[in-house]
Amino acid sequence: MAFRTNCHRGRKRTMNEFSQVGQTAVETMSVSKQALLDSFSQAWSQVILLAPKMVAMVVVLVVGYVLARWVASVVAVVSEKIGLQTAAEKSGLAKSMHDVGIKRPVPAIVGILVFWLLMSVFVMAAFNILGLESVSEAMGEVVNYIPRLLVATVVVVIGLLAASFLRGVVATSADRIGLSYAEYLAGGCYWVLSILTMIAAFNQLGIQFALLEKLILIGFAGLSIGFALAFGLGGREVMAGILSGYYVRQRLQSGDQVSVAGLEGTVREVGPVATVIETKEHGLVHRHSVPNVRMLQEAVR
């Protein structure tokens, strides 16, 4: 009898334990279900709150893209009309860009820069709509940097165009006065001005080359002092010969018969500071170098 009573009590205790476990499981499932429902509810609330902002963001980006494409195409056409590509070709910028692998014409590149400038503004506005201020600030820094890039591009185009013009002027002038190194002198002027142009462009981008600028200024100062000393210590005669050669070249050409300094012969070459006269005596040909200053004063055709 006692054994049966104990068994009955054991079964009852086991049933109570199972009942408690089941009740705990039901409560846990209920809590999990409620937490899941709360999560979905919060997510749906966020979607409902963000939906108008997302729609506004998409509208801003679409309108911005269309407007940026239109403005960029107009800028590219206007740049082509005003001769920007021609200026780039004359200045050597187009060739330099082609050498480094940039195949697009300069007006198209300007249009692309304008497109991304405008798109950056609209993207920044879109992030502001979503409340992402940090991303908007980063985009603002990019937008502020693009105008510097445009100004640097204009500086390079104008500077290289001026350098090419100066090279032509120096080469023509030096060739007219008979300088044999006219091409090297013109090339040196071109590269000096080109380097100064690049330094100015990098300064626009916020990249400083203070040491290089000082070295260039020191170099110019040294050249100026050297020319001044050369002119003061005897360079005046050389300059007088060069200028005289310019005027002699206007009066005489190779093959002309002249009489100068007791010589009668044929002009073979009018050099920078002297003229070569060819004479014949006893069947022999002789060449004489006569200073251009004397040629200008005494030569008679």
Please say whether the beta carbons of 122 and 64 come within 8 A. yes
Give this prediction's pTM.
Answer: 0.47
First to last CA, the chain: 161
Tens-digit pLDDT profile for residues 272-295: 667 777 777 776 777 777 776 666
Tens-digit pLDDT profile for residues 174-205: 666 556 666 777 777 788 888 888 888 877 77
The span from the CA of 119 to the CA of 65, in Å, is 6
What is the CATH number assigned to the segment(s) 236-298?
2.30.30.60
Single-letter code of the amino acid located at 11: R
Among 72, 64, 71, smallest CA distance to 119 is for 64
Mean pLDDT (whole number) for 123-129: 76
Please say whether the beta carbons of 195 and 216 come within 8 A. yes
pLDDT of residue 3: 43
| Helix%, strand%, coil% for the chain, nearest 5 | 80, 10, 10
Tens-digit pLDDT profile for residues 216-259: 667 666 666 666 665 555 555 666 666 666 666 667 667 777 77
CB neighbours of residue 42 within 10 Å: 10
Q: Residue ranges per domain, the chain?
A: 51-224, 236-298
Mean pLDDT is highest, among 75-84, 122-131, 177-186, 223-232, for 75-84
Q: Which residues pair with 276 in a beta bridge?
A: 269, 289
Q: Is 285 helix (H, G, I), strand (E, B) or coil?
A: strand
Please say whether the beta carbons of 245 and 178 come within 8 A. yes
Residue 69 has pLDDT above 60, yes or no: yes
Tens-digit pLDDT profile for residues 21-67: 555 655 565 655 555 665 666 656 655 666 677 777 788 888 888 89
Task: Tell me which residue has tokens 């997302």.
Answer: 54
Among 145, 160, 147, 150, smallest CA distance to 198 is for 160
Within 8 A by CB and 6+ apart from 170, the residues are: 182, 185, 186, 189
> Mean pLDDT for the chain?
70
